[in-house]
Structure 1
Amino acid sequence: MQVNLIREIHTKEKEPINVVKYNSTGNYLLCAGNDRIIRLLNSKSGAYIREYMAHSYEIMDLDIVADSTRFASCGGDRFVHVWDVSTGKVIRKFGSHLARVNTVRYNEDSSILASGSFDSKVRLWDCRSNSSGPVQVLNEAKDSVSTIDIIEDKIIAGSTDGNLRTYDIRNGKIFTDSFTHPITSIWTSKSGAFALVSVLHTSNHLLDLETGDILKSYSGKQNTNYRLRSCLDCMERFVISGSEDGKILLWDMEAGEQLSSIPTPNKSIVSDIVSHPSSDHFAATTTHGDVLVYQYDKT
């Protein structure tokens, strides 16, 4: 499988970048990290468009609404900020977490924003209300909540306690899938039937969300210290993940076979990976403060 680095975007601060997101069209990238700056980039040219600054500590996660007019950010200052993209202003600020906020995610119509924290809580915020307090707090996790996804009426939360909890909000039920290692990220399939679960170990796992069965495992990465995220490509054919030995790995999703292992520039650790929503590209961020854009072609 041929994978080519087609663009390197450098930050002068060289601080670790913790998160990168494509907008819904794939024309823009949003990234942020330890330097507390959120950067909007043109994904095709790599040109800087705008910077957003309000956080006083490192930024851990971002999420963008479907029409790309707003985005949410969170981090070490315990706050969740909601931004207006065009004006660059913070239009909402949510604050009742007691520790670093690790992850944020909108639901499909952007009416609800979920945040997960080192305080082991998931808080749900009503984006249509003027209230600054959460509408619900999910407190089942026994350790830091590292990752969240929302699929229709289900909230999926991964924790460093090794459990993936699926909250069926409509029916008031909780389903728990246990792993033997801390969970670092989840990437849910478009159908909501399965999820790619990344753990602090040498493998990632494809989980059937209905039965709790592990459908396939993907081994070969090194991951003992950092939160490394992984993803599926836009067609859900490949698994893409970073590794602490400075490589990006790709596997065939169905077969589990490793297809490619690509060293990053300077062998820097890849902290986040996200696939383009509609093309054969993906973007990665590194602990050296770089955004890398790749194109793949299975020959």
Structure 2
Amino acid sequence: MSYNSYQNHQQGGRVHKQPYNQRESSSNFQQNFDHQLASQDKKQAFRRTVDHGNNMARWFIEKSIGVNTRHQQHIGAVRPESSYLIDLLPSLAYSSSFNLNRRNNKNNLGALDLETKLVHLSSNKVKHSINTVKWTPEGRRLLVASHSGEFTLWNGMTFNFETIMQAHESPILTMQYSNNDEWLLSGDQNGTVKYWQPNFNNVNNITAHSNGLRDIAFSPNDSKFLTCGDDSMLKIWNFSNGQEERTLTGHNWEVKSADWHPDLGLVVSGSKDNLVKLWDPRASQCIATLHGFKHTVNTTRFQPCGTKRLLASVSRDRSCRIFDLTAMKDMLVIRDSETDLSCCAWHPLHASMLTTAAFNGSMNHYLLNSSILDSNDAKKGNSSFQTASIDNVHHIPYAHEKAIHALEYHPMGHLLCSAGSDKTARFWSRARPNDPMAWKDAVYTDDKIGAWYYALNNNVNAVMEESSG
């Protein structure tokens, strides 16, 4: 027997055959290596990412060399086939408020940015209901606040879990970043407000309300902030020293929502007493009361872009009202015949795009300028003026299994996050060119491959109805 075939080692009278052990360990290693490769391939196959860097960089390069500087992108230029993916520009390129040639805005390019596709579902191992979510100012992460008082950070591109921390001792009901992106305020069920730095270092705590704190809003210059709560009061605080400056009283029940106008000295609040009130924050006076709703007002939000003269409010009477601040009357009334509405969100770049969510887990996208009033009706005056109404441009019936409590658009406008009572946060994106299912995600068809699709909605075969039009 040759020395190269075996190496005999005398140990206690036993002879060990080394090459056989080497072949066995090599075989085991190869099996483990193949198993790891197979598992990695499997994970990569189901991982869906959203890359918003390339198209943004390409658009800025085109603008710097004088391409597409005065004309809007045409709708047909991005739809014919998949190779036109390179021409899919960021949301800012399609916003009517950014383009210089307004005459090209006869086509509402907000239709290109409707978030119709489910990208990812994120949930903690220990699941709790989610009341509010916020994108970090730079848009790299999503901050989720749960009913357990925990902050959870999710990656904004690959949607991986990053970290979790115990922020409050009671359920977190609201969060708000300052306009200069340097501070985060959070409010909980005990009425406590906490100051957070961008690295989530807690620097101050104040007891703002005697009961649950429902909403927080910063003033335009961030020197003050507004809180509202279940004690039926709104309070204005000095941000620097945390001292209360004014108390706005006038609601007769819990105040569910409040917002501070980004430009005007105007505050809005919505309450369980069915009223929406407009306030002057400097005089602590109610300057107008809107009586259109017949049930609890859940969310009130000022328009963040465009003319910034519209106010959206949703209520449990299954309606959403768009109030015109210049005319001081309702411009649109959007009615949902299925269930009560829970929250709404304006698109950060498209002034006419509004998204509403309901207690049955459904979502609707609206383009407010898709309905044009007849010129003869407009000339009749206020006495015979009928408030307009519009239909949704896209409807997702089973966006969540249960009620949706939070809607939050990405600062760049290409992603939408929703979260609610089913203890999950879901990411939605716009469809890609030549996508045959652009308006109907695979989750909502009978072509579900694998149990993952059914598990999204508690094993319900959530199939969208075919539209008649």
TM-score, reference length from structure 2: 0.51
Establish whether residue 40 from structure 1 lines up as the match of residue 195 from structure 2.
yes
Q: Tell me what 1:20 maps to.
A: 175
Establish whether residue 166 from structure 1 lines up as the match of residue 343 from structure 2.
no
Tell me if structure 2 keeps the 8 A contact 1:99–1:117.
yes
Distance (whole Å) between structure 2 residues aligned to residue 12 and residue 192 of structure 1: 35
Q: Secondary structure at the match of 1:228?
A: strand
Higher mean Cα deviation, 155-164 or 63-72?
A: 63-72
Compared with structure 1, are the counterparts of its residues 258 and 198 closer, same or farther at alpha carbon in structure 2 (3 Å cutoff)? farther
141, 144, 156: which one aligns with 2:293: 141
185, 210, 214: which one aligns with 2:343: 185
Superposition deviation, residue 32 in structure 1:
0.5
Q: Secondary structure at the match of 2:237?
A: strand
More strand by share: 1
1:180-202 CA deviation, whole Å, 9 max, x = no partner? Answer: 22111111123321111111112
Q: Tell me what 1:235 maps to.
A: 412
Q: Tell me what 1:157 maps to.
A: 313
Tell me if structure 2 keeps the 8 A contact 1:30–1:39.
yes
CA RMSD of aligned residues (A): 1.9
Distance (whole Å) between structure 2 residues aligned to residue 169 and residue 25 of structure 1: 26
Task: Give the percent of matched residue pairs that are identical in Structure 1 and Structure 2.
Answer: 19
Establish whether residue 85 from structure 1 lines up as the match of residue 264 from structure 2.
no
Compared with structure 1, are the counterparts of its residues 161 and 36 closer, same or farther at alpha carbon in structure 2 (3 Å cutoff)? same
Establish whether residue 31 from structure 1 lines up as the match of residue 180 from structure 2.
no
1:3-37 CA deviation, whole Å, 9 max, x = no partner? Answer: 13334231352x11111112223332111020210
Letter of the 1:29 partner, please give it. Answer: L
More helix by share: 2
Establish whether residue 176 from structure 1 lines up as the match of residue 328 from structure 2.
no
Distance (whole Å) between structure 2 residues aligned to residue 223 and residue 58 of structure 1: 22
Tell me if structure 1 keeps the 8 A contact 2:190–2:209.
no
Q: Choose between structure 1 and 2 for higher RCO, CA contacts under 8 A separated by at least 6 residues.
A: 1
Superposition deviation, residue 168 in structure 1:
1.3
Tell me if structure 1 keeps the 8 A contact 2:211–2:230.
yes
Q: Secondary structure at the match of 1:149?
A: strand
1:23-56 CA deviation, whole Å, 9 max, x = no partner? Answer: 223332111020210111112x211021121311
Q: Tell me what 1:245 maps to.
A: 422
Distance (whole Å) between structure 2 residues aligned to residue 93 and residue 104 of structure 1: 13
Unpaired runs of at least 5, structure 2: 1-48, 50-157, 372-389, 432-437, 444-469
TM-score, reference length from structure 1: 0.79
Q: Tell me what 2:160 maps to.
A: 4
Establish whether residue 70 from structure 1 lines up as the match of residue 224 from structure 2.
yes
Q: Tell me what 1:220 maps to.
A: 399
**Aligned residue-pair number:** 253
1:276-299 CA deviation, whole Å, 9 max, x = no partner? Answer: xxxxxxxxxxxxxxxxxxxxxxxx
Superposition deviation, residue 258 in structure 1:
8.0
Superposition deviation, residue 247 in structure 1:
1.4
Bigger CA radius of gyration: 2
Tell me if structure 1 keeps the 8 A contact 2:189–2:212.
yes
Q: Tell me what 2:83 maps to.
A: none
